[in-house]
Amino acid sequence: MRVLVTGGAGFIGSHLVDALMETGNEVRVLDDLSAGSLDNIKRWLNNERFEFIKGDMRDSGTVKEAVEGVEAVFHLAANPEVRIGAQSPELIYETNVLITYNLLNALRDSSVQYLIFTSSSTVYGDAELIPTPENYAPLEPISVYGGAKLAAEALISGYAHTFGFRALIFRLANIIGERSNHGVIYDFINKLRKNPEELEILGDGTQRKSYLHVSDTVEGMLKIFEYFGKGSKTVDFYNLGNDDWITVGEIAEIVSEEMGLKPKFRFTGGVDGGRGWKGDVKFMRLSIEKAKKAGWRPKLNSYEAVRMTVRELLKSL
């Protein structure tokens, strides 16, 4: 296929680009390099099946040009930092909702048949049902980031039903792995390199969430996209996560162990009952039964994914 990957120089996006290129697709990447890096996709830059466009999706003309001649769009471009929503809600709006709106308007008069969007587990908020299935309601995000992802989902559904393309929406757990440049593991490694004696841990350490390695994530996206393509639904939703979960305190222990350190853990206590920050979902585990029925299951559990990620980041950072 001829595909566009928005945010394709970023963490998850570049791994998706690798998989798409390795399976013979023609791939175009649109990225402003604010969070991504050309280093992530440098192996493809001179390949005749690959095209890179440096551009900001807040400019509608750039987006319209990028979708020309492609059959599918994998829309991963976004500001990935949940915490920034409390300080800069306008930035979260622009880099999640506005860019999605610009993309959808560009799709109206294009040849694109499929839109694949990476949403987030944050759309569920503090779910009362765990593991949380795709049909859980009401969706009540507790962060501006989660609200922006839910707004993007709603726009995508409306446009798909109105303008005749099909949309596949993935609600992702915490995705980790090589090339990630934010998140708890990345932060812990950098903090311990600055001070091997003590590790500051945001919150009370009991926050418990599901973590999925990026290799499993990309495999899930492509396998379920293939499954979705054989069906007839205009819009469908799939959780991608793990059957287990792990606490922040346990992650701190794994990072310390892999670095050969025994630091003192200093918990900040957090906000709103031990959360790391305002809007942090304290407990998150997604139901992945629907994804399993589509033929996918993760190879690494949360503990294995965390340990592998620590080793990958220690080599690259």
Residues labelled catalytic: 145
Nearest-angstrom CA–CA distance, 78 and 72? 18
Length of the chain (residues): 317
Report the 3 state secondary structure along 174-220: EEECCCCCCCHHHHHHHHHHHCCCEEEECCCCCCEECEEEHHHHHHH
| Strand stretches in 207-316, DSSP E | 208-209, 211-213, 235-240, 246-247, 264-267, 283-284
Q: 265 forms bridges with which residues in the sheet?
A: 199
Q: In this structure, what token pair is assigned to residue 301?
A: 């559990």
Which residues 6+ apart lie within 8 Å of 102 measured at CB?
Answer: 57, 58, 59, 60, 63
Q: At residue 16, what is the residue type? A: L
Nearest-angstrom CA–CA distance, 9 and 97? 20
Q: What letter does residue 142 receive in the DSSP assignment? A: S
Nearest to 180 by CA among 217, 145, 214: 214
| Cα angle value 277/244/256 (rounded, 5°) | 60
